Amino acid sequence: MWQGAKNIYHFFQAILATILYRFPSSGLIVIGVTGTDGKTTTTNLLYHVLHQAGKKAALISSVGAILDGKSSDIGFHITTPGRFAVQSYLRKAKKMGIKYVVLEVTSHALDQHRVAGIHFDIGVLTNITREHLDYHKTYERYVKAKAKLLKKAHVAIINKDDTSYTRIKKQELRSKDKKIITYGLKTDSEVNPHKFAFKTKLIGKFNQYNCLAAIATLQQLQIPDEVIRKGIAGFKAPVGRQEIVYDKNFTVINDFAHTPNSFSSVLPEIKKLTKKRLIHVFGAAAKRDTYKRPEMGGISSEYADIIILTSEDPRNEPIEKINEQILSGIKNTKFEVIDYERIRDQQLEIKENKKYILKVPDRKEAVNFAISLAQKGDTILLTGKGHEKSINYGRGEEPWNESEIALAAIRERFKN
């Protein structure tokens, strides 16, 4: 009841913001992208191709905002800005003569009416897996929140291969003035690799879907096929999305993966690229879908050789409790849980042909330790923080930059 009352308040705030900034989305072509995973890559890919095509475009995503080529940070732990901020960005875009705006939209933003008053020409859905149930309570309510974007948009672009597709079809999307386009890897979708072949530098099957979502959208915007293909082929993953931080004797990859679905997508692909050991550094955020913690542990243990459990915004929840829940999902008996303190004090030795789990609560120390372990042919995969510029240990937001911390550790290791 309280959440519903709050959302009514948020709705009127959004309408006020729309009026204050004089209905800025009118006259713009606004593309909204939602989904559990893949939103940031898809929005950045869309902006990249539009920019490469010579179109005046803007991007608002979790890694920041770009208006006419000028970047700005949207703040700590934010994907969709607040209702006044997003209307302000749209107003600036309009004043600058920008035509296309690509907006990453979360289920929270949709449920809390942060994008109320925005005219969406195209709504894109990447996928929906079990996430954010701490907020939405049920998967059905989560799907319903995501579907709000598709209902708002004139064109709805949907992943036909995703398990959410049958539920999305029940959300009464069809109307005489709405166009629905499906995409997927199978031939029964309207946009697929069999009809539209493309090449990409992005790794993994999950990124094939992100590319197809972008292709379907760009075709609706009348961007020529050859321009789409060229743009996709030249696109590099955004910060914190399969970002290769270091690739010499060993490889360090920074990725935002923080759900079971993203683990299932990213880890097998990284394992294929790894010549020797895969060292996985991760944790789980506090008070967020605690059910997923054992699942993430189990998935990591299928692919990693060394697992380092650490902090990922523990806030006021004990890190030890979070990591024990992750550990409970690891049933692989080949793993040995060893004392990090004894390793650090050189009382124990990491053997090359064995699998280990270590708990290192301080994330910076965990990253440093992973890099100290790496040998030629190893891959270190850092997941959970990605692009984020802060970490929360319960003392408020503290500055954080995962890639810079990894690079500093590498410089320290090889300084002599």
What pLDDT was estimated at residue 204? 87
**How confident is residue 74, by pLDDT bands cut at 50, 70 and 90?**
low
What pLDDT was estimated at residue 76? 46
Give mean pLDDT, residues 321-344: 93
What pLDDT was estimated at residue 130? 65
How much of the chain, in percent, has pLDDT values that exceed 90?
63
What pLDDT was estimated at residue 73? 61
76-90, 291-305, 309-323, 327-341: least confidently modelled range: 76-90
**Residue spans of beta strands (DSSP E) within 249-370:** 251-255, 278-282, 306-309, 335-337, 355-359
What pLDDT was estimated at residue 21? 75
What pLDDT was estimated at residue 133? 54
What lies within 8 Å, CB to CB, of 362 at 6+ separation is 310, 311
What pLDDT was estimated at residue 140? 83
What pLDDT was estimated at residue 231? 97
Q: What is the pTM of this model?
A: 0.82
Tell me what the pLDDT averaged over the chain comes to. 89
Distance CA 254, CA 316 (A): 25
Comparison of pLDDT for 140 and 373, the residue scoring more? 373
Indicate the SS3 state at residue 395. coil
C-alpha dihedral, 355 to 356 to 357 to 360, nearest 10°: -140
pLDDT tens for each residue of 382-416: 999 998 999 999 999 999 999 999 999 999 999 86
Beta partners for 59? 66, 102
What pLDDT was estimated at residue 120? 95
157-161, 163-167, 269-273: least confidently modelled range: 163-167
**CA-only gyration radius of the chain, Å:** 22
What pLDDT was estimated at residue 77? 47
Ordered by where they begin, the domains of the chain are 2-234 (3.40.1190.10), 243-413 (3.90.190.20)
pLDDT tens for each residue of 5-27: 566 766 767 678 778 777 878 88
**How confident is residue 299, by pLDDT bands cut at 50, 70 and 90?**
very high
Comparison of pLDDT for 177 and 381, the residue scoring more? 381
Quick one: tokens of 32? 């909204």
Per-residue pLDDT for 309 more than 90? yes
Per-residue pLDDT for 293 more than 60? yes
What pLDDT was estimated at residue 270? 96
How many C-beta neighbours within 10 Å does residue 287 have? 12
Q: Looking at this protein, which amino acid is placed at residue 76?
A: F
Quick one: tokens of 170? 């029940």
Distance CA 14, CA 103 (A): 16
Distance CA 277, CA 307 (A): 11
The answer to whether 83 and 14 are in contact (CB under 8 A) is yes
What pLDDT was estimated at residue 134? 58
Per-residue pLDDT for 122 more than 80? yes
Distance CA 382, CA 253 (A): 6
What pLDDT was estimated at residue 75? 53
Per-residue pLDDT for 142 more than 90? no
CA angle 187, 190, 191 (to 5 degrees): 85
Give mean pLDDT, residues 54-82: 74
pLDDT tens for each residue of 229-280: 999 999 998 888 889 999 999 999 999 999 998 999 899 999 999 999 999 9
What pLDDT was estimated at residue 5? 59
Classify the C-alpha dihedral 96-100-104-106 as positive or negative. Answer: positive
Indicate the SS3 state at residue 298. helix
